[in-house]
Chain A
């Protein structure tokens, strides 16, 4: 028995995130850690519940173990519901067909039955690669007011970066007349955020058509949105103003973490009016020893700090021994930084041991690159990793 829902969300969480290299070697990108206590997927999931959307299908594919463990039954987001709630939707073997998700549109196509059973009027399509806080209810209201069949959330990006995005060219009323995927010469800077609201019947109609087209790469940005435009459908751009960051590369992931620092951070996670929910563990409070020096940092429960931590993000259970210096770095769960070791301008994945007097990264400078230490590595005593 299913209950009718006005709007359900489909969260595309199967991406590999190949430009995050070592961080996504064994973990899907949405399960990559962020901000000391979170994983990337916590942002779209929390946005959903903060927007009153209580039915979310999470489409997984690449390396789903860490992601599935994190999501569980959706309880951290109050999505363990009797009516609706969170469902993990992996690719499956059908009676006639069985296939991996070939593209974003195909992934949704393969789960049409999930959408149908809730008899939803609208489907919100999300991806698990961005850090942002957004009230989707406002976007839905806009979609209804414009009587659109599809609304694309957009954000203004610097024009010199616009060629990296899908760009929406709009009329003065906000309706889209052209969608250009990664244009060489962008006409404006309204970039698609990869967030779409569709009327369900329109979505199903175009997904069927897209699936029937053998030449299609089954992608929303490349195929489905252009097909709707070509047919003269009513598409609108919903302009979003606020913090939004694609964390698809090592440097953007590092930058987004740094955006949490400072007196009035551009992304404030302590704001209780729009909480980001995550799976929390009962670790002991952090202990800051008498040799510790802390400056402009985020530190999480279970940490034991006796060294220097500056401009850094420390996840749960990190140990920084006496004389160690962690600077401009993101250090994930249960890492040990031995005495006298130096970590700077780096992302250290979980369970890494940096032995005493080892050096990871060089100090933050214009030409230096962020060093990544993969999960579980041991950086030997005195070793230098640059």
Chain B
């Protein structure tokens, strides 16, 4: 029995990625051919034997609910544990109807749940971060250091093309965090990037939340973590491999294409046999490649029927690509129908789109052309 509970915050940053989250939470954005963003947080947790997972939802979470179902595909349909969705909850008589928009507000929303946790530690994850991180080792480190908080950080963050302000940090040789700062890019003062996966002592989390309520704090990082760095009990666990934040379509596109072009990134995220990524499985047939198919350097999910050319692309489940069509440098999400002699270059197609014969759509690598869900072209 694991001594850790998981909390996944599914709606943070839903508002920044407006194109892809019209009718889904950030957590439900499809990624890497057959996954949704939440699969990475869920898999990281279950691969560390965390079997009690609370997913805090806020609004437009229907597709997330459908994806998770009973939790069976992650072995999370359990008695006494497993997965549960915590939707906004209003006490009778209460007139407030404010939905959370920060980590702290989201956590404050579920204080009764946190008060009831028996587990000694909690892992809090955002859902717009994609990585395959060894939380078993992170937990062992957290306990060895007797840390109040252990932050999972990227040791070697990317430079340039940063889409949003993020939290950077500096740690000493033991991993004790010395500085935390919000910024656009890594600097020598704060060389590592916080991946918004936090391991906390449950008792400490309760104390932090009480403190936040007393002082009317709003930001978990700025008001809580930054002010407690001086306690010397905040550590970081360094992650070496691939990671991706998905703040908007441009970043989504860049990180997706990286999986196609960079075998190491692909291997780190999807190829770890000890830590597979779990997702909702469908009953789908194998991919059928026709006589005219030319496919190279692409990730392709099951149940597709492909008779065209596909290069440097990610094709999700159940996509049909007609003869003579050329799909390059593009991400085509599930169920799309691409007719004959269609040309797509640097396109992100959301689910269930229909592109009729002969159409030509092109973006560029820094600004992909986005086709909204269910759009007929």
Binding site for B on A (CB under 8 A): 35-37, 75-76, 260-261, 263, 265, 269-270, 275-278, 280-301, 309, 313-314
Contact = CB atoms under 8 A, between A and B. Distances in A.
Contacts of A281: 281
B297 A35 contact: no
A261 B307 CA distance: 12
Contacts, number: 109
Contacts of B300: 285-288, 299
A287 to B, nearest CB: 6
Contacts of B291: 263, 295-296
B30 to A, nearest CB: 12
Contacts of B271: 284
Chain B's interface size range is: 35 or more
A287 B303 contact: no
B276 A282 contact: yes
Interface stretch (B6-14, B113-121, B282-290, B343-351): B282-290
7 contacts: A36-B285, A75-B72, A76-B283, A283-B276, A286-B302, A292-B295, A298-B287
Nearest to B39: A282
- Classify the interface of chain B: helix, strand, loop or mixed: loop
Contacts of A295: 289, 291, 293
A281 B259 CA distance: 21
Interface string B248-276: 00000000000000000010001100001
Contact of A313 (B286, B294, B299): B286
Contacts of B32: 284-285
B281 A299 contact: no
B295 A294 contact: yes
B286 A36 contact: yes
Nearest to B74: A282
B240 interface: no
B293 to A, nearest CB: 5
A115 B73 CA distance: 32
A289 B287 contact: no
Contact of B287 (A290, A292, A300): A300
Contacts of B278: 282
Contacts of A285: 32-34, 270, 299-302, 314
Nearest to B33: A285
A277 B277 CA distance: 22
B296 A290 contact: yes
B210 to A, nearest CB: 40
Contacts of B286: 35-37, 269, 298-300, 313-314
B298 interface: yes
B279 interface: yes
A212 B289 CA distance: 55
